[in-house]
Structure 1
Amino acid sequence: MGEDTAAAAGGGGVPAEVRRNLEAVLMVVDQPVAEYDLAHAFGLPVHAVAATLAELSGEYTAQGRGFDLRQVAEGWRIYTRPECADAVEHFLKEGTEVRLTQAALETMAVVAYRQPVSRGRVSAVRGVNCDGVMRTLVLRGLVEEAGHDPESGALLYRTTSYFLERLGLRSLDELPDLAPFLPDDIEGLDDTGEHTK
């Protein structure tokens, strides 16, 4: 291997581009990835990928990076370094947070006070379609599915324990008494938001 080729190659003799690609994949996975899976994805021998990952891990440590590439039982994954835990925790608690929109707050309030409740009934209370907002609340872990209505078969939703945690509540009994301000005739609405007779 010539000097130029050697300079362009990283650990295990893999090209610098492959090293970058390995880093990119490891930055986005949400669970450890096995050496075999990475080797298969990039068409490389497992031993070359293993050597590259070990070298990258050593480089991150030597450079004092805020993240660490670790091998665990299931494979390799990038983690925050333990010594950075306080900074990360401070940012997550006090730093920039994605705030809920007014529509999301209103939807969450209806679910909290009328749960378990269908999307149709939430939409009827708010006066607008809330399907997209409900999906957002589910993705953020504030609302979850709670089975189906035995009469209509509509999917029902309720708040989660994470919802209580974020509001600093022990139970739904500690919610402020706002239920009287919601429409009384919600029980007379079907799951499409139409009044039933």
Structure 2
Amino acid sequence: MTDTTDAAQTDDVTPEPNGPVEPDGPTEAEQLAFDVGDVPGGLPSAIEAILMVVDEPVTEVALASALEVPVPDVEEALEGLEEGYAAQQRGFALRQVAGGWRMYSRADYAPVVSRFILDGQQAKLTQASLETLAVIAYRQPVSRGRVASVRGVNVDGVIRTLLTRGLIEEVGTDDESTATLYGTTSVFLERLGLQSLDDLPALAPYLPEVDVLDEIAESGRA
């Protein structure tokens, strides 16, 4: 009697391929691979493409990392683009603000842009909002109560407006009173065209010091 067990098992085994299986298409790494030297325009054009899609200033380091090139090369390309746009009197400009770079419409064309977007009306901050924002900018981190002491009025509604517009943010709490402290944001720097708070005009000497604010607040409660 012939034993057919081994033959049956042999028939069920799928033969192994002779070599590694080739993928059907390019891998994800291959799809993401990029060399700035392989595209028309090279590094400057690659930087332009990135700047067209960012919604906040991007640093030289971030650009260099994304494009896998040295930071000095990125800095040189950015400066070249900035000078080139100015020389060509383009409708947009490349500006360095809030520690990074971003495209902006040129200031010369502000009336045209405003008319197109806002139909001739510009959304401006009220005087109360501007005063409150100034106090926060020069005395940050500062609590709502101290801001109210300087202005002499309730600032709850104005604080909410500034928070909604992204000009200020909560930056912590006061150790003694546990009150929320506020400071300005990168959007604030960007809107004013500043690199840092050190670039603010010298207005701080005209504002009361923190200990004076406390005295004003205490007298107001009496």
The TM-score normalised by the length of structure 1 is: 0.49
Q: Which has the larger radius of gyration?
A: 2
TM-score normalised by length of structure 2: 0.44
